Amino acid sequence: MDGAPLEAGQTSSMYSTMMRDSAMGLPWWSSTGIFLCTGLDRSSSSLFFPTVSCSISCSTPFSFSATTTRFTKGLAQPPTTRTAAGSPELSADCSHRNGLYIYVLASEFLPKEESIEQKRSQKLQSLRDVCEEHSIAMAGGGDELKLLGMWASPFALRAKLALSFKGLSYDYVEEDFKNKSDLLLSSNPVHKKVPVLIHNGKPICESQVIVQYIDEVFPDAGVTLLPADPHDRAVARFWAAYIDEKLFSAWILVFRSKTEEEKAEAVKQTFAVVEKLEGALSECSKGKPFFGGDTVGYVDVVLGGFVAWVHAIEEVFGLNQFDAAKTPLLAAWLERFDELDAVKEVMPDIGRLVELAKMRQAQAAAAAAAVAAAAAGEAN
């Protein structure tokens, strides 16, 4: 590839590493599951795969993307293939919508969901190397996004959701809280917490700040999260702050409750907050499916970060917070939100969260028992 702009309908075979799903003996395009699509494109705005609703960020002159895409239904026939320079290697279909093209140069079936993030990072790195080698300008003048997170963190999930809804590629670094990286400690010296987004070497901390930053800096990518109207924007920020202040603290009470009375009080507080959020959804959505209206917006992302834990809490504590009988709008919202491909792509495994929650509960119970035993020993 010589770095000259690709023409519509033309692709490069540079990264044609399509693999067969050997386990099933099927060609990749007829499989179902997660695919990693990587490529360079030349477009001027976001577009969507026709078969899946996964947005990919595109900016001029070139951007690269590595996005995971869930094919819930394998394709019935191979996608159109176009090759450059008569190469026998093929590229996946070029989606074409509204006159824009995307060149997906490689689609690789990922049989193991856990490997997605590492795989995505590796592919991005190889694309970056290729861009450097061929002097190809990268999206937004070489935007480099790195996210420091932890798989179970609802706050890190917010940042992942925002990046996913925007279709932005990023490197992901999983942090170990027992041994935080120097990068985390130097990037967020005040709180030393995740998430931290590092954009072209500059760190941005606090999940809500990160989501707003992403929306501001990449206005043309994917969906717009913050409302255009200043009053609507203020209302969205108000409810986002309410979620962190009230819902999260009610959950902490649920987790820390030691007696049935304490748990009942914590559950009561949780439902009171959720009831207010039902009103918020009605106010922000104006009768549409999401807080953001027809598409997800800022409050959807902020509350969306908590969705994995809503499911885990239901399994661990038997607490169905978004109950269709009590809060029908939120119950329907949750179902809708869970079904979005951009959400599925980044959602942690609920079973793993349940295990973590049970382990933390057992640790807290053991610590409380040790304190009680020590107090009893002192009294004797």
Ligand X SMILES: N[C@@H](CCC(=O)N[C@@H](CS)C(=O)NCC(=O)O)C(=O)O
* Binding-site ranges for ligand X (CB under 6 A): 150, 153, 155, 177, 192-195, 206-208
Which residue of the chain is nearest ligand X when measured via CB?
Answer: 193
Q: Which of 41, 38, 81 is nearest to 62 (CA)?
A: 41
**How many CB atoms lie under 10 A from the CB of residue 47?**
22
Q: How far is the CB of 25 from ligand X (least distance, A)?
A: 42
Min separation Cβ 228 and ligand X, Å = 24
Q: Which among 305, 310, 308 has a CA at the least distance from the CA of 274?
A: 310
Q: What is the dihedral of CA 231, 163, 199, 66, to 10 degrees?
A: -150
Give the shortest CB-210-to-ligand X separation in angstroms.
Answer: 7
Cβ-based nearer residue to ligand X, 4 or 190: 190
Residue with tokens 């819902």: 247
| Closer to ligand X by Cβ: residue 80 or 181 | 181
First-to-last C-alpha distance (Å) of the chain: 81
- Give 124 or 204: the residue with its C-beta nearer to ligand X: 204
Those residues with Cβ within 8 angstroms of residue 297's Cβ, 6 or more apart along the chain or in another chain: 223, 224, 225, 226, 227, 236, 284, 290, 291
CB of 117 to ligand X, least distance (A): 17
Nearer to ligand X, 7 or 176 (CB): 176
Shortest separation between residue 258's beta carbon and ligand X, angstroms: 22
Q: How far is CA 95 from the centre of its chain?
A: 23
Closer residue to ligand X in complex, CB, 104/299: 299
To ligand X, the closest distance from the beta carbon of 368 in angstroms equals: 20
Beta carbon nearer to ligand X, 155 or 337: 155
Q: How far is the CB of 177 from ligand X (least distance, A)?
A: 5
Task: Please identify, using beta-carbon distances, which residue of 108 and 206 lies nearer to ligand X.
Answer: 206
Q: Which residues contact 165 (CB under 8 A, 6 or more apart)?
A: 55, 222, 223, 225, 296, 301, 342
Work out the angle between the directed axes of helices 328-338 and 260-285 (0-180°, nearest 10): 80
Q: Helix (H, G, I), strand (E, B), or coil: what is residue 153?
A: coil
What six digits make up the tokens of 343?
């959400």
